Amino acid sequence: MGSKGFTLWFTGLSGSGKTTLARQVEQILRDRGMKVEILDGDVVRTNLSKGLGFSKEDRDTNIKRIGFVCHLLSRNGVVAIASAISPYREVRDYNRRMIGRFVEVYVKCPIDVLTKRDVKGMYAKALAGEIKGFTGVDDPYEEPLRPEILVETDKETEEESVQKIVRSLELMGYVPGADASGETSEEEEEKIRQRLRDLGYI
């Protein structure tokens, strides 16, 4: 029963749904009795990474700090869930190497959809030049090449994305699950299995 820790790393553009999905997955894992901590990029910048800006160096430092805390938590049996834009591939991979038990979730959503959604009004400001160095507008975002889990929030409902993440974790053996696929459809189940087979997990 003593489940091992691991890190679930949500990456994606601002407003793509990382934090919402992370919170929902957190609740499901907690309902199964697992120990879970969330490290949210926005929150971390008010404490752990207070004072850091948005230059590439500062962004990398921020992501490495989050990665370091995830590493400590994971090796002590906690599921660490990170939710941060984390735009640079190199530093995400650095964390992956350090942590080992690392699952990357790419929360994908096209920039034009995000610009239209613009819940926090940030894209409008970035496009108007009021904010500089905004990821996806005038700062780069490097897509993950082989994320364990890909969710497309412009095409899937929130519930579908959450189910896909949880089911993938079950199949990878990170989260205790039952034989039955539960909430996922047969077609979706096969897609998830195919991805994990391609990545050599199952």
Partner 1 sequence: MSRFALIGLESAPPRFLFDLWRDDLPNIGSVMKEGMHGVLGGTIPSSAIPAWTSMAACQDPGQLGLYGPTVRAARDHAQPVEATSEHVRAKTIWNYLSNQKLNSLVFAYPETWPPKPLKGVLVAGAETPAKDAQWTYPREASREVEAAADGDYMFDATGYGGPENERLLEQVYEMTRRRFAAFRQFARKKEFDFMSLVEIGPDRVQRAFWRHLDPEHPRYEAGHRHGSAIHDYYVFLDEELGRLLNDLPTDTSVMIVSARGARRSNGAFRINEWLRKEKLLAFKEAPEESGPLAFDKVDWGKTKAWAEGGSTARVYMNVKGREPKGGVPEADLESFRGELEARLSAIADESGSPLAPEVSRPEKIYRAANGVAPDFLVRFAGRSLRVSGDVGGGAFFLGAGEGDAPDADSDPEGVVIWDHPAKLRPKRKERYSVYDIAPTILSFFNLELPAHWIGEPLF
Binding positions for partner 1, rule: CB under 8 A: 1, 27, 30-35, 175-180, 182-183
Instruction: Give 115: exposed, middle or buried? Use CB within 10 Å, 0-12, 13-18, 19+.
Output: middle
Between vectors from CA 167 to CA 162 and to CA 170, what angle results, nearest 5°? 130
**Packing angle, helices 89-99 and 56-75, rounded to 10:** 20
Quick one: 32 or 125, whose CB is closer to partner 1? 32
Q: Measured from the CB of residue 190, what is the shortest distance to partner 1 in angstroms?
A: 17
Quick one: 27 or 76, whose CB is closer to partner 1? 27
Task: Determine the Cα–Cα distance for residues 98 and 92; give it in Å rounded to an integer.
Answer: 10
Quick one: 90 or 179, whose CB is closer to partner 1? 179
Task: Determine the Cα–Cα distance for residues 51 and 48; give it in Å rounded to an integer.
Answer: 9
Task: Determine the Cα–Cα distance for residues 144 and 167; give it in Å rounded to an integer.
Answer: 20
Q: Measured from the CB of residue 195, what is the shortest distance to partner 1 in angstroms?
A: 22
Quick one: 5 or 41, whose CB is closer to partner 1? 5
67: its two tokens: 């990665």
SS (H, E, C) 145-169: CCCCEEEECCCCCHHHHHHHHHHHH
Q: Measured from the CB of residue 148, what is the shortest distance to partner 1 in angstroms?
A: 20
The active-site residue, picked from 14, 49, 83, 86, is: 86
Q: Measured from the CB of residue 37, what is the shortest distance to partner 1 in angstroms?
A: 13
Known active-site residue 86? yes
The set of catalytic residues is: 86
